[in-house]
Amino acid sequence: MSNRRELYQSPSGDVWYLGREPENGRAFIIHQPNGPSGGQRSHIELGAFLTDGTGKPEQQALLRLIGTLVEVPPYADRT
């Protein structure tokens, strides 16, 4: 069973998660469509997820999460 963290929920009820396999650390996206769309969950490789179009809210949510992993010094300390 993978670990997962919710990235984004669309107004239509689709949900995207960032998942990680505890055994090997492999990360991927889990897409859970809403019921009327069929509700069939799918796993998407990170590269494929980010290159499938641009600027989608769920892609932006992943990029924001990745950005939180980078420490940025306070503005005054930048040259």
- Going from the C-alpha of 8 to that of each of 13, 59, 79, the distances in angstroms are 10, 9, 35
Task: Please tell me the pTM assigned to this model.
Answer: 0.79
pLDDT of 62 reads 94
pLDDT of 79 reads 57
The ranges of the chain with pLDDT < 70 are: 1-2, 75-79
How many residues are recorded in the chain? 79
pLDDT of 37 reads 83
Q: Which domain holds residue 19?
A: 3-77
In percent, the amount of the chain with pLDDT more than 90 equals: 63
pLDDT of 2 reads 61
- State the Cα–Cα distance between residues 46 and 31, nearest whole angstrom: 12
Total of domains in the chain:
1
In 10-72, at which residue ranges do the beta strands (DSSP E only) sit? 15-20, 27-32, 42-45
pLDDT of 76 reads 58
For residue 43 the two structure tokens come to 């796993």
Longest dimension (CA), the chain: 53
pLDDT of 39 reads 82
